[in-house]
Structure 1
Amino acid sequence: MEELIAAIARGLVEDKESVTVKADAPAEDGTITYHLHVAEDDMGRVIGKQGRIAKAIRTVVRAAATKKEMKVVVEID
């Protein structure tokens, strides 16, 4: 899942080296939280106007997680 999030983010940003994804330990309900970090200058590219790109990233990742019977949350830091 981390590779999927990183691949999507690298396609959007200019500074591809600054993209990192970290996962938290699963919560009690089994939900895994992924934290996406990008360069400060690229933050707008990843979030998009009115959060549309961020919402799309979350939708794609949630769909991929559903196929693996996982629950995930993506946070952009």
Structure 2
Amino acid sequence: MEKDLVEYIVKSLVDNPDSVELNEIEGDKSTILELKVADGDIGKVIGKHGRIARSIRTILNATNNSSHRRTVLEILD
């Protein structure tokens, strides 16, 4: 569910939604979401001073409270 949510948010922010790649790595107590976007779209996902990335992570943390699992978003270059 978290993967679909992040993918939807990111695809609505970027100019090239087809270039969005999101890999999910499952662990024992956490899940890592690795996000790759086109070079020109990286700034749109991170935002000024990281505000957009922080907002996406806040939404992820809000959805994780019920499942007791932690989801970490990593934005890759």
**Structure 1 residue aligned with 2:37:** 38
- Amino acid of the structure 2 residue aligned with 1:48: G
Which residues of structure 1 form unaligned runs of 5+? none
* RMSD (Å) for aligned C-alpha atoms: 1.1
Q: CA deviation at 1:61?
A: 1.1
Count of aligned pairs? 75
Corresponding position of 1:20: 21
Match of 1:68 in 2: 67
Q: Normalising to structure 2: TM-score of the pair?
A: 0.90
Between the two proteins, what is the percent identity of the paired residues? 35
Which AA in structure 2 matches 1:5?
Answer: V
Which consecutive aligned stretches of 4+ in structure 1 deviate over 6 angstroms post-superposition? none
TM-score normalised to structure 1 length: 0.90
